[in-house]
Structure 1
Amino acid sequence: MRSEAAESQLAYELQAAKEQQKIRLEEIEIQVVQRKKEITIEEKEIDRTDKELIATVRRPAEAEAYKMQQLAEGQKMKTVLIAQAEAEKIKKIGEAEASSIEAVGKAEAEKMRLKAEAYQQYGEAAKIALVLEALPKITSKVAAPLAKTNEIVILSGEGSRVTGEVNRLLAELPVSVNALTGVDLSKIALLQKMTSAEA
């Protein structure tokens, strides 16, 4: 009887231990499930935080970086285009100047060719015409200093040929210059004085 009681007691304790073990396994399983749920919640929180960071920090930073990159590229493009435009402007100005110089050179060459043809065609008469055309300018240049002179004194001995020649030259000069150039030297005060002193 004692043995049955002991067996019964042992069976009871064994059953209680099995039940206790089963309860402990279920508790562990509950803890595992709870930990899994906590991990899932933490993962979701990490995802949420990451998305929040992306939305509030990373995306604006990327947008700002993109904006800065675009601005830098735009500035670079602007600088390149301005440099190209400046180079094109310099090239066009150079071409225009070269074209202008060439045109002037061709015109000068044509002018000289036509003059040469005129000289050949008209010979001596053309040369005389050119001299007569330039004579008024030459005469005005020669007469300009005389117009500023108030008095000329010529000293020579008695019966000197120099005095006679100078007087004759002075008497004929205004008439000759007037005939050749149309400039009236008799109106220059100095020559009036000299011709009146001679008379």
Structure 2
Amino acid sequence: MGWGFVTCGPNEALVVSGCCHMKPLLVPGGRAFVWPSIQQVQRISLNTMTLQVESPTVYTSQGVPISVTGIAQVKIQGQNEDMLLTACEQFLGKPEAEIQHIALVTLEGHQRAIMGSMTVEEIYKDRKKFSKQVFEVASSDLVNMGITVVSYTLKDIRDEEYNGVNGLC
């Protein structure tokens, strides 16, 4: 806990609470004055987090079991004050690993749902469509937690029965 002038780098935000503020003062990448004993300061990371989103053995709309791996870049949004406040309410004081886990579980759920609504051929031949759907659906959910999906890409599609997807398409 610091007092006086407190600074932070561009990859984190200060959250000053206590006397003199109706709601916490949010300072992304800057400095703030903290009164000793009547205010407290906490930090929240704004670093980009890379998540490997794995969905093993999910049945497509045709009932074919496939496994998909996607890579997502997510971060707590520091430029939008409402989103930053929401992220602070959800994650302040939690380790980055726990934040990553929450985002990962959310992304995996959406990835699995979209896999179940498409055919193997659609996923394999139109990877952009699949990636876009996961990105859009997950973004709308994660934004309610103060997290932005920076990017999502489909890394791998596998079918264990045929040793790859090429046997199906």
TM-score tier, shorter chain, comes to under 0.3
Q: Which has the higher strand share?
A: 2
Instruction: Report the structure number with the largest CA radius of gyration.
Output: 1
Higher helix share: 1
Q: TM-score, normalised by structure 2?
A: 0.22
